[in-house]
Amino acid sequence: MRPVYPHPLIAREGWPFLAAAIAAAVLAAWLAGWWSAPLWLAALFVLQFFRDPPRVVPEDPRAVVSAADGRVVAVEKARDPWLGRDALKVSVFMNVFNVHSNRAPVEGVVKQRWYHAGRFLNAALDKASLENERNALWLRTPGGQDVTCVQIAGLIARRILCYVDAGAELKRGQRFGFIRFGSRVDHYLPLDAEVKAAIGDKVYAAESVLAKLAGHG
């Protein structure tokens, strides 16, 4: 599927940070010349952190794509605390150098959204799924499959942004949120899903297939 991309290459969440970083660097360059170099490096970091490139989404209706860029840190059977069911959990850890836009893992309707305040533990740890600040979406596909996608704050992350609520209809790979400065996303899938990801895999939001749902999705 060709990317349908309504946002510029720099995520809108980053515009104030980038503007402030560039302004500080320009002012420092005017006042101190080459001593402003650290501020220019900081501006470059902000630029790379808030980049938001277009993605090509797989057309397979059964595909569950990663909701985030990063590395797979968990593939296991687990209890989905949001829907109260046994599920397959695939977790992706984002460091500060990954793209932090979050994309819908499946096409579907948002049945419910939950937000819980919490701690800010290292998002690579398993207990971050239950103890950190988090925002969860319950998605139901056109084929009636339930997928839970959970944005989790990390050690440095202090802001989870989610732009959809119950009733919203999402296309696979559609942008729905953003997490600032390092975090994690958990995907809870039906037990009969066919997992394609493995621990250690590097994945890309909207493009990398984590699993395939049973039936015709």
Q: What is the pLDDT of residue 123?
A: 45
* Close Cβ partners of 125 (under 8 Å, ≥ 6 residues apart): none
Tokens of 39: 């501020």
- Residue numbers annotated as active site: 183
The CA-atom distances, in angstroms, between 60 and each of 50, 125, 164, 217 are 29, 32, 24, 9
**pTM, two decimal places:** 0.81
Q: Which of these, 85, 86, 154, lies nearest to 119 by C-alpha position?
A: 154
pLDDT (tens digit, 0 to 9) for every residue of the chain, 217 residues total?
544 445 567 777 767 777 888 888 888 888 877 888 888 888 787 776 777 888 889 999 999 999 999 999 999 999 999 999 999 999 999 888 888 889 999 999 999 999 887 555 544 445 445 566 789 999 999 999 999 999 988 665 557 889 999 999 999 999 999 887 668 899 999 999 999 999 999 999 999 999 999 975 4
Q: What is the pLDDT of residue 182?
A: 63
- According to CATH, the topology of domain 63-212 is Glucose Permease (Domain IIA) (2.70.70)
Tell me if 193 sits within 8 A of 172, measured CB to CB. Answer: no
Q: What is the pLDDT of residue 83?
A: 97
Q: Tally the residues of the chain.
A: 217
Q: What is the pLDDT of residue 203?
A: 97
Cβ-based burial of 130 (10 A; exposed 0-12, middle 13-18, buried ≥19) = middle
Domain boundaries, the chain: 12-49, 63-212
The whole-angstrom separation of Cα 179 and Cα 164 is 14
Q: For the chain, first and last CA: distance in Å?
A: 17
**In the beta sheet, which residues pair with residue 194?**
212
Tell me if 46 sits within 8 A of 21, measured CB to CB. Answer: yes
Q: What is the pLDDT of residue 217?
A: 43
Q: What is the pLDDT of residue 176?
A: 93
